Amino acid sequence: MKRGQTPVTGGAMTMAGFKRGAREALPLVIGTFPFGIVVGVISDAKDLSLAETMLMCAVVFAGSSQLLALELWADPAPIMAAAIAAFAVNIRLAPMGAALAPWLDRLRGWKRWATIATLVDHSYALSAADMQRGGRDAGYLLGVGVGLWVFWMVAVALGYGLGSVVRVPPGHPLYFAAAATFCAILMAFWRGFARDFAPWVLSGGIALLLWWLGLPAPWPLIAGALSGAALGAARSGARP
């Protein structure tokens, strides 16, 4: 067991684990904070009220799907189209939850629901890596998620307040902040060139190709993810 991990029984949740998760979530704020500001700025530009914006961010808490829904937002609001697009982007959280089952299955009541509600790419990546190192404290997962959620709400509110004076053009580097952060923590899952290179390249290549061909979001993302996962599963099944 590495230093800093809490020696508890599988799936237990402790305050020590929660604090450790919240503390280790702080470096990720560097990447997610600008992303939250962008969401706030765009929400103001789409004429959402501050209350509507904060409610959306508090309940959904998924930056990629929020941006996608905001890009589709018009008058009248395409509620069904935005909901379907958000669902398609967020469906990736289902296998993430399944991968964290050794922790989640042993939680009950508000602890389980609060942990699931704050699950995002970054909290999954850090927690899965911690689990691989032998960590068994589910408080770590909740700590990371709540830490990111708090700063996300602050960033969105700040961006909304700046919306009247700041206009972020399409393609601005701020839009890449969250993606860059996730790419950095994704490297914790790299298992070597022979095992991961082909699935990762196929996934990214398919997504980029479909985007270049003009396929609208979120289909390039979904197609890339499914193709890479299928190749990875096939290679794992063929390996003795």
CA 46 to chain centre: 23
Map residue 133 onto helix, strand or coil.
Answer: coil
Domain match, 40 and 135 both: yes
Task: Please give the structure tokens belonging to residue 22.
Answer: 């919240």
Task: Please give the structure tokens belonging to residue 23.
Answer: 């503390």
How high is the pLDDT of residue 141? 93
Domain match, 61 and 27 both: yes
Domain match, 115 and 21 both: yes
What is the rounded end-to-end Cα distance, in angstroms, of the chain? Answer: 29
How high is the pLDDT of residue 2? 47
How high is the pLDDT of residue 174? 60
The per-residue pLDDT for range 148-174, each reduced to its tens digit, is 999 999 999 999 988 767 666 666 666
Q: What does residue 172 show for φ and ψ, rounded to 5 degrees?
A: -65, 145
Domain match, 91 and 159 both: yes
Domain match, 66 and 117 both: yes
Q: How far apart are CA 2 and CA 13, in angstroms?
A: 18
How high is the pLDDT of residue 168? 62
Domain match, 230 and 128 both: no
| Final residue belonging to a domain, choices 155, 172, 189 | 189
Per run of 10 residues, the mean pLDDT along the chain (length 240 residues) is 46 86 89 83 85 91 80 74 75 83 88 91 89 89 94 92 70 62 64 82 91 81 80 68
Task: Please give the structure tokens belonging to residue 114.
Answer: 């609060």
Enclosing domain of residue 84: 15-189
How high is the pLDDT of residue 189? 65
Q: Name the domain count of the chain.
A: 2
Element (H, E) at 42: helix 29-45
Domain match, 69 and 111 both: yes
Domain match, 41 and 145 both: yes
pTM confidence score: 0.69
The per-residue pLDDT for range 51-60, each reduced to its tens digit, is 999 999 998 8
> Which of these, 121, 128, 110, lies nearest to 145 by C-alpha position?
121
